[in-house]
Amino acid sequence: MTLQFITEVLQLVDRYNHEAKRHNSPENDIGSFKKWIARDVSMCDEEVDWEGKENNRSADSVISTMIVRMNRYGKNYFRAAIEGSDLASTDDMIYLITLEAFGPLTKSELIRKNVHDKSAGMSIINRLIKNDLAAQRNNTDDARSKVVELTTRGRSVLEQYMAKVRDASKIVTAQLTRKEKLIL
């Protein structure tokens, strides 16, 4: 074995550990590592064709365009799903879903998870609090921050519209294969 080979193996182990941590995977054994390598290799083996490839359009460009389009489709379907609700925007619903999924979060954590800048995120949080969909309380771990959580009313609104939101999500991802959904 050469030093280069050992270095590449260690880099693979490092990538695996990084992905496992990112996905909160408790599996950290040789069997899981081998499955990860097999999955990683099988994903790289397939040559894919796309529109514009012959004109030197990059895969990155195609992916970016598709993500932007999916975002637009998603917003339109989400908007239709929450029509008639007390929610001012699709972002309100996404913040409620995030609180339901992760439980109480600091304002900063909630904003970060929803990939907003601070001012936009604070505006959404304040609107949810004002409409009694979320509540804030002091953070027992850090006196400088507040924790945001769902209220009973927020949970009720979420339950009332969640089936429609799930249907909208299925429409948006309908063209994706199961494998593509799992990769994303």
Task: Say if residue 41's pLDDT is above 70.
Answer: no
Whether residue 38 is found in the same domain as residue 106: no
Is residue 48 assigned to a domain? Answer: no
Write down the pLDDT at residue 177: 82
Write down the pLDDT at residue 47: 67
The mean pLDDT value for 36-45 works out to: 66
Task: Return the C-alpha torsion angle 113, 114, 118, 119, nearest 10.
Answer: -160
Whether residue 12 is found in the same domain as residue 72: no
Write down the pLDDT at residue 76: 93
Is residue 130 assigned to a domain? Answer: yes
Total structural domains within the chain: 2
Residue among 94, 114, 103 nearest 150 (CA)? 103
Whether residue 81 is found in the same domain as residue 158: yes
Whether residue 167 is found in the same domain as residue 107: yes
Entry pTM:
0.69
- Could you tell me the residue range of the domain that residue 30 belongs to? 3-43
Task: Say if residue 45's pLDDT is above 60.
Answer: no
Is residue 171 assigned to a domain? Answer: yes
Split at pLDDT 50, 70, 90, the class of 30 is confident
Whether residue 96 is found in the same domain as residue 138: yes
Whether residue 111 is found in the same domain as residue 134: yes
Gap between the Cα atoms of 46 and 172, Å rounded = 25
Whether residue 82 is found in the same domain as residue 121: yes
Whether residue 34 is found in the same domain as residue 67: no
Whether residue 8 is found in the same domain as residue 68: no
Whether residue 140 is found in the same domain as residue 81: yes
**76-126 per-position pLDDT tens digit:** 999 999 999 989 999 999 999 999 999 999 999 999 999 999 999 999 999
Write down the pLDDT at residue 40: 67
Whether residue 105 is found in the same domain as residue 136: yes
Q: What is the DSSP letter of 122?
A: H
* Residues whose CB falls within 8 Å of the CB of residue 93, separated by 6 or more in sequence, listed in order: 78, 81, 82, 85, 87, 158, 161, 165
Task: Say if residue 46's pLDDT is above 70.
Answer: no
Structure tokens at 143: 């006196």
Whether residue 136 is found in the same domain as residue 160: yes
Report the CATH number that the domain containing residue 66 is assigned in CATH.
1.10.10.10
**113-169 per-position pLDDT tens digit:** 999 999 999 999 999 999 999 999 999 999 999 999 999 999 999 999 999 999 999
